[in-house]
Structure 1
Amino acid sequence: MHLIILILSLGTIMFLAYKGYSTIITAPIVALVTLLLTFGFDSHLMANYTLVYMDGFAGFVKNYFPLFLTGAIFAKLMEETGYAHAIAHTIIRWLKPERAILAVVLSGALLTYGGVSLFVVAFVLYPIATLLFKEADIPKRLIPGTIALGAFTFTMTALPGTPEIQNVIPMTYFKTDTFAAPGIGLLASALIFGLGMLYLNNQAARAKKVNEGYGESMEQKTKIPSKTPSIWLALAPIVVIFSANLFFSKFYYPYIDGSYLEKYNTTLDSQSGTWSVIISIVIAIVLILLLNIGKIKNLQSVLDQGVKNSFVPLLNSSAIVGYGSIIKTLPIFASIQTMILNLSPNPIITEALSVNIICGLTASASGGLGITLNALAPTFLQMSEPLGISPELLHRIAALASGGLDTLPHNGAVITTLAIFGLTHKQSYKDIFFTSVIIPITVTALIVILTSFVYR
C-alpha cells in the first residue's frame, strides 16, 4: 500500500509540474496528502509537515539564496552592459550561427567545470543563449535542453576533476579525489556529449523543416545595445569567476584553519565550495560596476530586477526540496533501498541502481547521492573487495548514476531553468528529458555493462 501511495505522490507532483502548476503551491499540498495517506490523522502529521517539510524548504533557502541572488544580478548586469551580446556575437563569428547549440553547450560546460553552481549557470547563460538562438532562428524551447546537456550531465558527474558537488560527495566515502577513474570518466563524457549533440541538432533540423523559428512571442525582446563592447572586456567577469573560484577553493580555504566553525556545527570543507562561488560572483559584479561607472543610468532598477528574477526560481526549488524531505521519511523509502541492494551481488550494478532511483525519489542528484552512500557505501566497499573493484571505480559509477533520474519534472534545477526562460514543462521538458535523463542513463548503463564484464 505504501508503495502505491509513493507512486501516486510522485506521479501527481510530476504531472502537475508538467502541466505548468507552480511547485510553490503543489509541493506542500502533495506532501501533506502523502503524509495523510501514509500515517493518517495521527499526532505526528503536522509535526512532519511543518518541521520536516519546512526544514528542507528553509535549508535550501539558507544554503542557496546567496547563489540565486548574486547569480541573477550578475546575469542582469551582463545583459544590461551588452557583455552577453558581445560574447554571443563573438561565438557566432567563431562557430557560425547554425552552431548556436554547440556554443551554448560548450559555454555551460566551461562554467560548470569551472565550479559555477548549476543554478547560477542558467542565470548566466540566459542572455547569451537567447541572443544566440535568436540570431540563429532556432526555437527558444530547445534552450533548456541545451543548457541541461552542457551543465547537468557530463561536467556534473563524468568529467575527471570537475568540482561539482556530485563529483565531490563520493570522495568522503571512498577516500578518492575528483579525478577518480579518469578513463571511464572521459569515455562517459564523450558519449554523453556526442549523443546529446546529435539529438539537439536533429531537433533543430526538424524545426527548420516546418519553418519553426525562435518564437519571439514567447518572451519580451532582449535589449540589444547600440554599441557592442569589446569581447575581452565582456569575458573579463567570467574569467574572474573561474579564476577566483579556483583560487579560493584550491589555494586559499584548504590552507586556513576552520576549527572556528565547530561552534556552528559544520566544517570548512562543507562550506568553502559555496563560499568560493559566492565570493567569485560578487567580485565579478563589482568588476562590472567599476568598468561601467556612469554608463548604467538606471542602476537601481537593474539591481532591483535582478533581485526579483531570483525569487520565483528560488522558491520553486525550495518547495521541491521540502517535498523530497518528506519522501525520505516514508517507511517505504528504506524498503526500496534494501530491495535494490539485494538485486545483484555485483556492487557496480547495485550502486548504479540505488543511486539513480534514490536521486529520482528525492529529485536531487546531490541529495540522493548523499543519502545512498551514507547508508550503503561501506556495503559497496565490502562487496567490491573480493572482486578487485577499486574505490575509484565505485566513485565514478556513483557520480555518473546521480545524473539520471534526478532531472525528472519535479527537479529543482529543471524548474529553475524553465522559470528563468519563461517556458513551461509542456514546451521544453521533452528535450531536457532526452539530454539529461535518457542519454546519461543509457551511457551509465553501457559503462556498468562494460565494467561488469571485467569484474565478474
Structure 2
Amino acid sequence: MGLLGILVGLGFLIWLSYRGWTILLLAPAAALIAAAFSREPLLAHWTQTFMGSAAQFLAQFFPLFLLGALFGKLMDDSGSVRAISRYMSERMGPSHAMLAVVLAGAAVTYGGVSLFVAFFVLAPMAQDLFRAANIPRRLMPAAIALGTSTFTMSALPGTPAIQNAIPMPFFGTTPFAAPILGIIASGIMLAFGMWWLKRSQAAAERAGEGYGGADMLPANGVADDQFIRERATSAREFDTAELQHGQASETLPPVALAALPLATVVIVNFLMAMLVLPRLDFSFLAEDKWGSTSLSAVAGVWSVVVALATATVLLILINRERLPNLRASIDAGANASVLPAVSVASLVGFGAVVAMLPAFAVVRDWVLSIGSNPLVSLATATNILAALTGSASGGLTIALDALGETFVRIASETGIDPSLLHRVAVISAGTLDSLPHNGAVVTLLAVCGTSHRESYRDLAMVAIVGAVVALVVVIVLGSLFGSF
C-alpha cells in the first residue's frame, strides 16, 4: 500500500500541476496522500517533514533566487539584454540566423540572466532574423532553447544557474566541478543542436516551407497568463508576471557595457571559488551558532552569491541613467524570485515526505540496483524525478535529498570524485525536464506563438536528445578516467 500511495500522490501532483493548479497546495496535498497510504502521521509529516525540508531548501538557496532574479530584471530594464541580442543580430545577420539566436541566448544566460527574461528578449530578435532568412517560425523555440536551456544551464563550468548550485552543499563542490568534462558536454550539446537545426532548416527549404504563420503573441499577454505563470514558476527561477513591472530604458547601452556585468559574474565566481575562499580561515563555521557546517558545504553558494551581487552593483553604477525607475525595477526583480523559490521548495518538501516513508526503501534499492555504476544510478534517479516534476531544480533537489548521502558514501568507497557526481547530476537534471509539461517549454512556445504540435519535436531533439548524448559521454569518460 505504501508504494501505491507514493504513485497515487505523484500522479495527483503531475495531473493537476499540468492543468495549471498551484504547486503550493498540490505538493503538500500529494505528500499527505502518500503518507496516508502508509498510515503515517499526517500533521507531523506536513509541519515537520514537509515544511522542515522546504525551509532548509529556502535557507540554502533563496539568496541565489533573489539575486538571480534581481540581476536578470535589471539587465532587462537597462536594455543590456536587448543590446547584446541586437549586436548579435546585426553582426551575424540573417545568413547565420540560427547561430546568432543560440549564441545570444548562451551569452546572457551563462552571464546570469534569468531564462524567462532571455525568452522575452530573444523571441523578437529570432522573429526578425527568421523572417528575413525565410526560416520556418516553428524552429524558433528550438533555437532559443538550445542557447538558453542546455549547456549554459547544466554543463558549462561556473554557470550561475540554480541547477549548478544545488549539488554543491551535498557534495562539497564548486560551480566549476569537473570543468573539462563540462566543456566536452557543452560542445556536444551545441554541435548536436546546431546540426539538427541546420538539418531541419535544409529539409524545410527542400519542401518549399518558408517563415509562414502569424507573428508572436504580445509579450504582456503571455507574461500575465495565469496558467503559464503557474507552470513556469515551478520550472525556473523567475516569476513571469514581474516582467511587465518596473520601467525599461528607451535607450540601449553600448554592447561592451552591456556585456560587462555578464563577464563580471563569471570572473568573480571563478575568483571566489578557486582563489579567495579556499585561502581564508572559516573554521568558525564548525560552531553551533553557524550551523556546525564547513566551508565546503557553503563555498559554492557563497561564490555565486558574491558574483551576482558584485555584478548587480556594477550594473546599476554603469546604467544608472538607463534605469528610469530604479526602485520599481528592483522591487520587480526581488518579487520575481519569491513564487519560484517557494514553488520549488514545495516540490522539495514533497520529496522529503516520500523519502521518509517505509515504502521508499523499495524505490531506493531499485535505483541503486540499476547497472553496476553509481553514476548510472544517479543519472537515472535524477532524470526520472526531473521528468515527473517537470522541474530540473525540483527533481535534482529531491533526488539528492533522498539519495545524496548514499551516493557520497558509495563514491567514497569506490574512489569516485564528488566533482564527477556533481556534473553528472546537473546534466541529468537538464535532460528529461524538458518534456511537454515543463513550464519553461510551455512558456517558450507561448512566447514564440507556436504550438507543441508545430515545434516540440525540434525542441526535444536539441534540449533532450543532445543532452542525453552528452550525459552518456560524460558518464563513459568519467568512469574510465575519473573527474577532470
- What TM-score results when the alignment is normalised by the length of structure 1? 0.76
What is the aligned partner in structure 2 of residue 322 from structure 1?
349
> Does 1:5 find its partner at 2:5?
yes
> Does 1:364 find its partner at 2:366?
no
What is the aligned partner in structure 2 of residue 59 from structure 1?
56
Q: Tell me the amino acid that sits aligned with residue 12 of structure 2.
A: T
Deviations 1:258-294 (A, max 9, x none): 1121231222222222222222222222223222445
Deviation at 1:241, TM superposition (A): 1.8
In 2, distance between residues paired with 1:315 and 1:151? 23
| Aligned pairs (5 A) from 1:169-180 | 178-179=177-178
Q: Is the 8 A contact 1:348 1:397 kept in 2?
A: yes
What is the aligned partner in structure 2 of residue 312 from structure 1?
339
> Does 1:253 find its partner at 2:277?
yes
In 2, distance between residues paired with 1:402 and 1:267? 26
Of the structure 1 ranges 132-141 and 185-194, higher mean CA displacement relative to structure 2 is found in 132-141
Q: Tell me the amino acid that sits aligned with residue 213 of structure 2.
A: N
Deviation at 1:147, TM superposition (A): 6.0
Deviation at 1:441, TM superposition (A): 3.3
Q: Is the 8 A contact 1:196 1:435 kept in 2?
A: yes
What is the aligned partner in structure 1 of residue 260 from structure 2?
236
In 1, distance between residues paired with 2:13 and 2:30? 7
What is the aligned partner in structure 1 of residue 290 from structure 2?
264
* Partner-residue secondary structure (3-state), 2:81: helix
- CA separation of 1:84 and 1:187: change in aligned 2, threshold 3 A: closer
* Partner-residue secondary structure (3-state), 2:344: helix
- CA separation of 1:92 and 1:113: change in aligned 2, threshold 3 A: closer
| Aligned pairs (5 A) from 1:154-233 | 154-159=151-156, 164-165=164-165, 178-179=177-178, 182=180, 187-198=184-195, 210-216=212-218, 218-219=221-222, 225-233=249-257
- CA separation of 1:76 and 1:234: change in aligned 2, threshold 3 A: same
Deviations 1:395-432 (A, max 9, x none): 7655544543456678xxx54786799879x9679577
- CA separation of 1:93 and 1:308: change in aligned 2, threshold 3 A: same
- What TM-score results when the alignment is normalised by the length of structure 2? 0.72
Aligned CA RMSD, in angstroms, stands at 4.4
* Partner-residue secondary structure (3-state), 1:331: coil
In 2, distance between residues paired with 1:293 and 1:392? 40
> Does 1:290 find its partner at 2:317?
yes
Aligned residues: 436
Q: Is the 8 A contact 2:170 2:405 kept in 1?
A: no
Q: Tell me the amino acid that sits aligned with residue 67 of structure 2.
A: T
2:125 alignment partner, one of 116, 125, 132: 132
* Partner-residue secondary structure (3-state), 2:359: helix
What is the aligned partner in structure 1 of residue 71 from structure 2?
74
- CA separation of 1:422 and 1:326: change in aligned 2, threshold 3 A: farther
Deviation at 1:54, TM superposition (A): 1.1
Q: Is the 8 A contact 2:109 2:148 kept in 1?
A: yes
In 1, distance between residues paired with 2:78 and 2:110? 25
In 2, distance between residues paired with 1:391 and 1:67? 22
Deviations 1:372-399 (A, max 9, x none): 35214544676x68xxx99987776555
Q: Is the 8 A contact 1:169 1:369 kept in 2?
A: no
Q: Tell me the amino acid that sits aligned with residue 374 of structure 1.
A: E
In 2, distance between residues paired with 1:280 and 1:449? 33
In 2, distance between residues paired with 1:133 and 1:288? 25
Deviations 1:310-347 (A, max 9, x none): 23322322222222222222223221221233344455
Q: Tell me the amino acid that sits aligned with residue 323 of structure 1.
A: F
- CA separation of 1:149 and 1:369: change in aligned 2, threshold 3 A: farther
* Partner-residue secondary structure (3-state), 1:213: coil
| Aligned pairs (5 A) from 1:20-31 | 20-31=20-31
Q: Is the 8 A contact 2:50 2:353 kept in 1?
A: yes
Q: Is the 8 A contact 2:31 2:353 kept in 1?
A: yes
Q: Tell me the amino acid that sits aligned with residue 354 of structure 2.
A: I
Q: Tell me the amino acid that sits aligned with residue 27 of structure 2.
A: A
Deviation at 1:30, TM superposition (A): 1.9
1:276 alignment partner, one of 298, 303, 307: 303
Q: Tell me the amino acid that sits aligned with residue 37 of structure 1.
A: F
* Partner-residue secondary structure (3-state), 1:35: helix
Q: Tell me the amino acid that sits aligned with residue 5 of structure 1.
A: G
- CA separation of 1:309 and 1:422: change in aligned 2, threshold 3 A: farther
Identity %: 30
In 1, distance between residues paired with 2:58 and 2:101? 28
Unaligned runs of 5+ in 1: none
Of the structure 1 ranges 329-338 and 224-233, higher mean CA displacement relative to structure 2 is found in 224-233
Q: Is the 8 A contact 2:168 2:301 kept in 1?
A: no
Deviation at 1:46, TM superposition (A): 0.6
In 2, distance between residues paired with 1:159 and 1:250? 16
Deviations 1:156-206 (A, max 9, x none): 554567683477579659x9x8337x4x65554333333334556678897
In 2, distance between residues paired with 1:433 and 1:12? 25
In 2, distance between residues paired with 1:91 and 1:268? 40
Deviation at 1:238, TM superposition (A): 1.4
In 1, distance between residues paired with 2:350 and 2:108? 29
Deviations 1:119-138 (A, max 9, x none): x5325535542442343368
Deviation at 1:256, TM superposition (A): 0.5
- CA separation of 1:375 and 1:293: change in aligned 2, threshold 3 A: closer
In 2, distance between residues paired with 1:81 and 1:395? 34
- CA separation of 1:369 and 1:68: change in aligned 2, threshold 3 A: closer
Of the structure 1 ranges 435-444 and 304-313, higher mean CA displacement relative to structure 2 is found in 435-444
Q: Is the 8 A contact 2:66 2:337 kept in 1?
A: yes
In 2, distance between residues paired with 1:190 and 1:230? 29
In 2, distance between residues paired with 1:416 and 1:60? 21
